[in-house]
């Protein structure tokens, strides 16, 4: 069992959930805020394409590298304590952006935000596991948690849009500071401390292996996306990831007190939940990134309007996530898990078959379906968390968070490179600065502006090519979601009931 200081009253439990959910909201919001702020940061700091990639990637690389270690530390040192430090690091990093005047400094700020995020995300999940001992109540709490994560993803662009229309891009980071101050104050008062009373010996080698392996894995995925399957850097990173993560898994399976409880994967509900989380985040990351670019660069919407037009996904998720446990109790957790993935797949299919030229309405419908499909993530969380004993909550949370992170990286890399290849393939431009034009739509529009009246045709061609690439990528996303649906359906036990006793045996 996990030692918690004392049983927590119902009122305090739900108040604590509010603090945990608000912190998740901000961390997730931060991931999407950058998508909207990037054009402004680029215009101000003029990063090259590699620096631009690192601005996006630094956060995910650091976060994914630290998740396992930080979760294991939290189980030992105290999950509340880890969360409070995470809030502080996240707040300080957000404030540090005021001093950032070069691309490298922005990358450093993003890396530090990743450290804070790694402390916050798994701690919130493992604390929910220990605050809510009743499985039915826990499923509802995780529904709220999943809804807040979805809201964060959608609010990010809107908040960024409002801030960027009135202030400089720095404000997109500074918005975190007051939230973190409030979270620390409320958390100190409301959250109980919990830890694993018999964690065993710390595995120093395992710590290094997990960090090196995860960073290498995410780096490899991102580089394959950028430079193709023959990229030497990506191939080396893949080899490093395979060796270090393979060795890490073997160590964890051999030790009585592993850094990460890999044996949790023996539970089918647990594995099904991980597959669902991974597949959903692969698709979401890629499509939200491409849609945000399409709305701004093809349709010419401002940052705020882009944010508002991405809202249907969040509004649908706010409805679907808290309702998912009740629906699962009616029609079965298996149906909701696989069904959510299928609905998301349907959304991508809709974008793929929508009559051209693509306009906003099919996208609004697809976003709504994606939001409804996101309801399955609440059930995925409940399956993962109920498939693990309380003392191993940190491991379960680390695995769930890692699947979101790796999924997001895979989505942007794999589907993003499909989109980039399709864009290049559609573009027949041979004029000045052809390399820049083929690199990205933003680059093509810059070149077109410099060409003056002669650039009008290039603008139209580049926008059409980007729209075609978005449609093609949606088709690839649909195939991927279908595969995920099948795997989740086959893995999930037919009689899985998340509102009854735990499945952690």
Q: 267-302, pLDDT tens digit by residue?
A: 888 898 999 888 888 877 777 778 888 998 888 888
Tell me if 497 is assigned to some domain: no
Higher-confidence position of 464 and 502: 464
Same-domain pairing of 360 and 433: yes
Show which of 256, 271, 286 is a domain's final residue.
Answer: 256
Same-domain pairing of 76 and 209: no
Tell me if 345 is assigned to some domain: yes
pLDDT tier for residue 165 given thresholds of 50, 70 and 90: confident
Same-domain pairing of 108 and 224: no
Using CA atoms, how far apart are residues 175 and 114, in angstroms rounded to an integer?
16
pLDDT at res. 30: 79
| Overall domain count for the chain | 2
**CB-based contact 56:226 (threshold 8 Å):** no
Q: What is the mean pLDDT of the chain?
A: 85
pLDDT tier for residue 164 given thresholds of 50, 70 and 90: confident
Mean pLDDT of 5-9: 64
User: Which residues sit opposite 3 in a β-bridge?
Assistant: 195
Tell me if 505 is assigned to some domain: no
Same-domain pairing of 107 and 40: yes
Q: With 0-12 CB in 10 A as exposed, 13-18 as middle and 19+ as buried, what is 488?
A: buried
pLDDT greater than 60 at residue 1: no
Q: With 0-12 CB in 10 A as exposed, 13-18 as middle and 19+ as buried, what is 505?
A: exposed
Mean pLDDT of 173-194: 88
What lies within 8 Å, CB to CB, of 44 at 6+ separation is 168, 169
Buried b (16+ CB within 10 A) or exposed e, 342-354: bbbbbbbbbbbeb
pLDDT at res. 505: 42
DSSP letter assigned to residue 492: S
Mean pLDDT of 423-451: 82
Using CA atoms, how far apart are residues 420 and 431, in angstroms rounded to an integer?
19
Chain centroid, CA 388 distance in Å: 22
Query: CB 408: neighbour CB atoms within 10 A?
Result: 24
pLDDT tier for residue 422 given thresholds of 50, 70 and 90: confident
**CB-based contact 215:64 (threshold 8 Å):** yes
User: What CATH number has the domain bearing residue 138?
Assistant: 1.20.1250.20
- Written as six digits, the tokens of 326 are 């009740």
pLDDT at res. 6: 53
What lies within 8 Å, CB to CB, of 501 at 6+ separation is 135
Same-domain pairing of 330 and 417: yes
Q: With 0-12 CB in 10 A as exposed, 13-18 as middle and 19+ as buried, what is 292?
A: buried
Is pTM beyond 0.95? Reply is no
Mean pLDDT of 120-148: 85
193 SS3 class: coil
Beta strands in 176-316 (DSSP E): 194-195
Mean pLDDT of 25-40: 78
Using CA atoms, how far apart are residues 262 and 299, in angstroms rounded to an integer?
46
DSSP letter assigned to residue 344: H
Mean pLDDT of 468-485: 90
Same-domain pairing of 206 and 96: no
Mean pLDDT of 100-128: 89
Tell me if 11 is assigned to some domain: yes
Range of the domain at 238: 201-256
pLDDT greater than 80 at residue 227: no
Mean pLDDT of 311-327: 87
- 19 phi and psi angles, rounded to 5 deg: -65, -45
pLDDT at res. 113: 92
Same-domain pairing of 225 and 350: no
pLDDT at res. 504: 46
pLDDT at res. 7: 65
pLDDT tier for residue 242 given thresholds of 50, 70 and 90: very high
Q: By percentage, how much of the chain surpasses pLDDT 70?
A: 97
- Written as six digits, the tokens of 431 are 């004029």
**CB-based contact 38:52 (threshold 8 Å):** yes
């Amino acid at each position: 069992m996990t030692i918690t200081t004392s049983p927590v009253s119902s009122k305090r439990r739900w108040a604590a959930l509010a603090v945990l959910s608000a912190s998740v909201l901000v961390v997730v919001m931060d991931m999407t805020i950058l998508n909207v702020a990037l054009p402004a940061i680029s215009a101000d700091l003029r990063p090259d394409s590699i620096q631009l990639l690192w601005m996006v990637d630094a956060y995910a690389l650091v976060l994914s590298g630290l998740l396992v270690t930080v979760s294991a530390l939290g189980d030992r040192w105290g999950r509340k304590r880890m969360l409070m430090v995470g809030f502080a690091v996240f707040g300080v990093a957000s404030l540090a952006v005021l001093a950032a005047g070069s691309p490298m400094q922005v990358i450093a700020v993003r890396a530090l935000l990743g450290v804070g995020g790694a402390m916050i995300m798994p701690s919130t999940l493992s604390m929910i596991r220990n605050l809510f001992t009743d499985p039915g109540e826990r499923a509802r709490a995780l529904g709220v948690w999943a809804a807040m994560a979805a809201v964060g993803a959608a609010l990010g662009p809107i908040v960024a849009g409002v801030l960027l229309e009135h202030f400089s891009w720095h404000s997109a980071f500074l918005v975190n500071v007051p939230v973190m101050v409030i979270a620390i104050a409320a958390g100190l008062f409301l959250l109980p401390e919990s830890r694993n009373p018999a964690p065993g010996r710390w595995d120093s080698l395992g710590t290094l292996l997990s960090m090196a392996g995860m960073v290498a894995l995410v780096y490899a995925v991102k580089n394959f996306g950028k430079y193709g399957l023959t990229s030497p850097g990506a191939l080396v990173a893949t080899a490093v990831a395979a060796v270090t993560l393979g060795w890490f898994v073997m160590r964890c399976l051999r030790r009585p007190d592993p850094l990460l409880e890999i044996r949790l994967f023996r539970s089918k509900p647990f594995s099904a939940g991980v597959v669902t989380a991974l597949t959903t985040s692969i698709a979401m990351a890629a499509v939200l990134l491409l849609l945000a670019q399409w709305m701004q660069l093809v349709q010419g919407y401002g940052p705020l309007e882009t944010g508002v037009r991405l809202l249907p996904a969040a509004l649908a998720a706010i409805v679907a996530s808290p309702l998912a446990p009740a629906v699962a109790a009616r029609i079965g957790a298996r149906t909701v898990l696989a069904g959510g993935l299928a609905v998301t797949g349907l959304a991508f299919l809709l974008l793929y078959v929508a009559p051209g030229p693509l306009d906003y309405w099919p996208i609004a419908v697809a976003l709504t379906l994606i939001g409804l499909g996101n309801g399955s993530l609440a059930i995925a969380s409940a399956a993962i968390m109920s498939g693990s004993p309380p003392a191993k909550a940190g491991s379960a949370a680390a695995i769930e968070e890692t699947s979101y992170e790796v999924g997001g990286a895979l989505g942007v890399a794999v589907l993003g490179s499909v989109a980039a290849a399709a864009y290049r393939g559609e573009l027949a431009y041979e004029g000045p600065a052809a390399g820049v034009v083929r690199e990205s739509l933003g680059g093509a529009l810059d070149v077109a502006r410099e060409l003056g009246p002669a650039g009008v045709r290039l603008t139209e061609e580049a926008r059409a090519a980007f729209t075609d690439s978005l449609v093609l990528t949606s088709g690839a996303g649909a195939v991927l979601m279908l595969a995920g649906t099948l795997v989740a359906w086959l893995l999930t036990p037919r009689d899985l009931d998340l509102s009854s006793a735990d499945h952690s045996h």
